[in-house]
Structure 1
Amino acid sequence: MEPTETIKPAKAEIVKKAKAYITALFEEKLPQQLVYHSLKHTLSTVKEAKALGEASHLSEADLEALVLAAWFHDAGYIEVYDGHEYRSLEMAGQWLREQGYPADRISVVQDTIRATHRDEAPETELQLLLTDADISSMGREDFFSNAELLRAEWETMLGKTYSNTQWAESQLDFLLTAKFNTDAAKERYGKQFKDNLKEQRKRLKKTEKKTKEKEEEATGNFADPKRGVETMFRTMYNNHIKLSDMADNKANMMISLNAVLISVIVTYAGAKMGKTAALGTIFSKNPILGVPMGILLITALGSVVTAILCAQPDVTSFKWLKRSPQIATNRRVNLLFFGNFSKLSLDDFQSGMNEIMREKDTLYTNMVTDIYYLGHVLTRKYRLLRISYTIFMVGLILVALSFGIAMLYKS
């Protein structure tokens, strides 16, 4: 008599069909934004569930139910994100019924999937094993790479954005609060879980340190000067020097131009007084030409005087009194500028400089004061330069108008 046929081939076949069905379903309908809850995660969960089931010495029927539940536990993601577990168990029941799977075993598979929801408390051995397999990543070496995938998925699907520090803190909280339920999982993942927890603490400290350094570098303070403050002062000094050079160059240009005009006008005036000279004859016949020439002379004189005043060195100073408080802390005294410290004795100057070098607040106070007085000098320079250019512009307009009137009068 031949032995009766066992049901092993049938059971193995249902698992193969479930694998093919879920693989095709995910490849066709799973949203691309699900970079963590992908087919890879399901494959990993199935692998770990099978390993835990075998380590727990499950019966063949229970091991099959556990593996089927692992295959379907994330199937609901193709339709819904939050609460996908309930949709997953519905899809598993529908598909298993179509395959003619026993109703009582379908109920076992669905109850096992239900336990993976965060609000459900796993009770049966299958439920405990599946939940352990689902979070087995925290006890594997790929925990941190998977965590980054989950972070990216939450940002696109849920709009949750985390800074590096916030994410490191949330991952540490997860490792501290989550736990494996079964002895098989504790034995399989325990060592790597401890290593991951230790590494996560290190990463959090490192991230917090970097964040603190960036904040200090961005804000800086007077007690502990940072690159940003030093760059600000360096830039301000360079700008003041450049603006002062520009003002002096423009003033020198006006001085040279108007000096030439004055020389020419004086030459013409001398020619006018010399009756035998050709120019003198012209002025004698057309005395009205002396009007535009006089306006041009006044214009040149006014413009050159204001330009000279602009280029003239201006040294700010202060009135030093013996009863004044300490030099370095006096906001009106700038020990970094010769116009101020040249009025002090050598002892007072040395004492003030030593105090500046000891106190960072005092150093910055003197630098701010120096920039303030430089600004005053620049304000005066550019005001006089503007006056010089305005006189020159208005004078040329008047000269042109008066010359035109003179030509009309002659005709």
Structure 2
Amino acid sequence: MGINNLNHHIYMMNYLDILDQVRAHVSSLFHTNKDERLIYHNLLHTEQVVKAAVKIANHYQLSDHDFFVVSIAAWFHDIGYLTSCEKHEERGAGLVKEFLESKGADPELTSLVMNCILATRMPQRPVGLLEEIVCDADLFHLGSEDFRERNKLIRKEASAFAGKDIDKHEWRLKTIMLFESHHYHTDYCRDLLNEKKEMNLNELKEKVIKDDHEKSKEEKAINSVLENTDHHPEIAATGSKAQLMEKKENKKEEKKKK
């Protein structure tokens, strides 16, 4: 083995060793600082983002150095959620800085990793391919087959942190806003995910239209009953206006929980 090949081999061994340490470190942080409210932004999500980042990085045949940057950023990108949802990207960047400095990493490499994590702040504004890859990996699920299930988990998590159930209809409207303001940054993800992303968006819109239609029908029916209560004893006998209004509110609450 020539000197250059030997140096490259040692270099790669060091990268792989640190990546193994990163995986173990992040996994340990999630396990030892477990927050039951993190129904979505947990270790599983992190692993899914890492998998997506590796998939995109492999497509672009990144150098070992750049692959290392993207991978570490993906592992640390949501670790800040363990302390708070707000400004979690900044905390993630701070934690990865501490970790890499403890490993004697080059400051320039550390800066690249931190910038990749910070680029995932919404609205995303990545600069350069590495940041674009991490951003696309983070929202890879918008164009995936399992988007619906993941979106349910995100809503449950948001409800847990809010301390109240978030209305399903309201959540769909917010998700539609996210879809319409988002775009994939890499050509690879646009080609791979845009078609399914559009299908997921259309499904959300159809459900919103259906919700609005059902709500309108229900309100018309109840209002019709309320209007006729005073004139028709047989209707009044089935319940007071107050009871009908209570029933109306109960139905709203039931819909929120579905």
The equivalent residue for 1:202 is: 206
The equivalent residue for 1:123 is: 127
Aligned positions, number: 234
* Equivalent pair of 2:225/2:235 in contact (CA under 8 Å): no
Deviation at 1:120? 6.1
Deviation at 1:159? 4.8
Q: What RMSD, in angstroms, separates the aligned Cα atoms of the two structures?
A: 2.5
The equivalent residue for 2:103 is: 99
Identity %: 24
Deviation at 1:163? 2.4
Deviation at 1:95? 0.8
The equivalent residue for 1:39 is: 43
Map of 1:244-263 to 2, 5 A cutoff? none
Q: Distance in 1 between matches of 2:112 and 2:172?
A: 37
Tell me the SS of whatever aligns to 1:36.
coil
Taking a change above 3 Å as real, the CA distance of residues 219 and 236 of structure 1, as seen in their structure-2 partners, is closer
Taking a change above 3 Å as real, the CA distance of residues 172 and 107 of structure 1, as seen in their structure-2 partners, is same
1:61 to 58, 61, 65: 65
* Equivalent pair of 1:22/1:72 in contact (CA under 8 Å): yes
Deviation at 1:10? 1.6
Q: Which letter maps to 1:197?
A: L
- What whole-Å deviation, never above 9, does each CA across 1:167-187 have from its counterpart, x for those lacking one? 222222221121111101112
- What whole-Å deviation, never above 9, does each CA across 1:336-393 have from its counterpart, x for those lacking one? xxxxxxxxxxxxxxxxxxxxxxxxxxxxxxxxxxxxxxxxxxxxxxxxxxxxxxxxxx
* Equivalent pair of 1:30/1:77 in contact (CA under 8 Å): no
The equivalent residue for 2:242 is: none
- What whole-Å deviation, never above 9, does each CA across 1:137-189 have from its counterpart, x for those lacking one? 10011111111111121222135753232222222222112111110111221
Q: Which letter maps to 1:90?
A: G
Map of 1:368-383 to 2, 5 A cutoff? none
Taking a change above 3 Å as real, the CA distance of residues 211 and 162 of structure 1, as seen in their structure-2 partners, is farther
| TM-score, normalising length: structure 1 | 0.53
1:144 to 135, 148, 152: 148
Map of 1:278-317 to 2, 5 A cutoff? none
Q: Distance in 1 between matches of 2:217 and 2:31?
A: 45
The higher relative CO (CA closer than 8 Å, separation ≥ 6) is in: 2
Give unmatched runs, 5+ long, in structure 2: 240-258
Structure of larger gyration radius: 1
Tell me the SS of whatever aligns to 2:219.
helix
* Equivalent pair of 1:175/1:197 in contact (CA under 8 Å): yes
Q: Distance in 2 between matches of 1:221 and 1:72?
A: 57
The equivalent residue for 2:112 is: 108
Mapped pair 1:190 → 2:194: yes
Q: Distance in 1 between matches of 2:237 and 2:18?
A: 80
| TM-score, normalising length: structure 2 | 0.82
